[in-house]
Structure 1
């Protein structure tokens, strides 16, 4: 009996994948593992010394380091909560509104809402800092024009308002991303399902809540985990608007700015690559835990609910 011939090795697949694998390894994989490696060392008398987990013990146990870390983590959590509670619901509502065939100029509205996402964070941070300035900003005048000047306050200069204000600025900039993702998910719903709902008398808002929303739950879950990853990697807007010190009095300090000051140093603070790598490793651990909770907990429930 003749032996079946072996399939030839598809060398062209390896050739096509090699450039992408090389670039991803050089840009992502190697820096990640090198950061984890640096967190296990410290510099003593100008020499790199293996210290194991001592840097993590310092970060979580030392009074000075732990106070800064938990302050940054708490601010990061609030930054994320604002996005989840404001950005994503608004994005879903806008997508539902713009997906209506009765709405005129929907393409113009989609473009106008999405444009801020492609703007430079430096431009956005600097522009909003000018807008909200109590000296030369236009916000006081705009509120005065509609009789609401009493609501104005120097929001970026007050500790209790600064982080929330910057969070809402970030929401304004990036609300177009969840809007477009949910919009695409709504368009992918088969017309047959909606027509069957109409036959049962489910139309208008009832169709959205009872038919569309359950079908787009997986997309909402993906948007939520993307929001989580992006917010706990955030740095740019805070740095552009408030600087590396994340004022006033570190009230807008998040893990990204804390890691930046520690790693590179700022003003009188000397840079410490090993403690900076420790903070970056802690950020990676937090993000990894959050993503795993979504993948092994929430996503399974969404799949069971969908099917």
Structure 2
């Protein structure tokens, strides 16, 4: 009898151990996919950036020459900094227009206005569309001949404001950025709304008893408590702005037309590494160096923002 109990106990222990190991097996497929499509390309780009390339044929090891050429050799240097400035503008406009408007809309919805649930869904609907679909849709809207925007301006007698929006270097980049703001608005609204709803109601009631209402409530009470949500949105917007590719590619192709006025670092990388739609030759070494620089820049700045966010949370 004792032997049977011991046998049963050993069997149960083995089963529990197997269950523990079994749990650790579940992440393996995700880790394999992550390794193949994220880690390996990053390590490959790092490796490629140290070699000379003749088309797609790898040449001699040249150390940091590709990085040096990227920042000092023309036209690569000027194109890099021009694309970088476009990414900075992308980030600034998104923070001011998209996230500023999203914060106000989230605050309005937080006040439990009539139809709040409908507005949450309506603002988020564009996010459900593919970025490529959004790009082609707005490319039609911006068409100078039959696009809805110019047609509406004509209907209201504002012909002087009609423009070849994507054909003018002065308006093309801003048009794309504003489309991106429209596309990302709903996501920012939900993040801010979640931040508002996480604020303890006791604090709100106490502030109201002290006479805080309207603008004073927003600036003195809610805004400081929304710092974690603001920091999260800032980090996500920064990453998205400096990885901007799909929308620009869908609306303007890989050449950053017109006259490179819509170039971003990701589009410039694509053109260097794979060649442009106009038959540009590839520069895999330079493209890989650009990818590594972009990765380091985004990672470093994101780490700084996250550290600042953690510090703010501790202070609060």
> TM-score, normalised to structure 2's length?
0.88
Match of 2:270 among 260, 263, 266: 260
**1:13-92 alignment runs, 5 A limit:** 13-43=23-53, 46-92=57-103
Partners of 2:38 and 2:299 in 1: how far apart? 15
Q: Name which of structure 1's ranges 57-66 and 134-143 shifts more when overlaid on structure 2.
A: 134-143
Change (3 A) 1:149 1:47: closer
Q: Which structure's CA Rg is the greater one? A: 2
> TM-score, normalised to structure 1's length?
0.91
Match of 2:161 among 144, 151, 156: 151
How far apart are 1:44 and its partner, in Å? 5.3
Partners of 2:313 and 2:116 in 1: how far apart? 31
Partners of 1:240 and 1:18 in 2: how far apart? 35
How far apart are 1:141 and its partner, in Å? 2.4
Aligned match of 1:197 = 207
**1:1-307 alignment runs, 5 A limit:** 10-43=20-53, 46-101=57-112, 103-266=113-276, 267-296=278-307, 298-305=308-315, 307=316
How far apart are 1:128 and its partner, in Å? 1.3
How far apart are 1:288 and its partner, in Å? 1.7
Change (3 A) 1:251 1:44: closer
Partners of 2:89 and 2:234 in 1: how far apart? 15
Secondary structure at the aligned position of 2:60 is classed as: strand
Partners of 1:216 and 1:41 in 2: how far apart? 47
Secondary structure at the aligned position of 2:52 is classed as: strand
How far apart are 1:13 and its partner, in Å? 4.3
How far apart are 1:47 and its partner, in Å? 4.3
Partners of 1:63 and 1:81 in 2: how far apart? 27
Secondary structure at the aligned position of 1:128 is classed as: helix
Residue-by-residue CA offset, 1:241-293 (whole Å, 9 max, x unaligned): 11111111010011111111111112331223222111111111221221132
Secondary structure at the aligned position of 1:48 is classed as: strand
Partners of 2:107 and 2:229 in 1: how far apart? 14
Secondary structure at the aligned position of 2:260 is classed as: coil
Residue-by-residue CA offset, 1:149-191 (whole Å, 9 max, x unaligned): 3222222111111111111111011111111111111111121
Q: Name which of structure 1's ranges 267-276 and 90-99 shifts more when overlaid on structure 2.
A: 267-276
Partners of 1:183 and 1:281 in 2: how far apart? 36
How far apart are 1:26 and its partner, in Å? 2.0
Q: CA-atom RMSD, angstroms?
A: 2.0
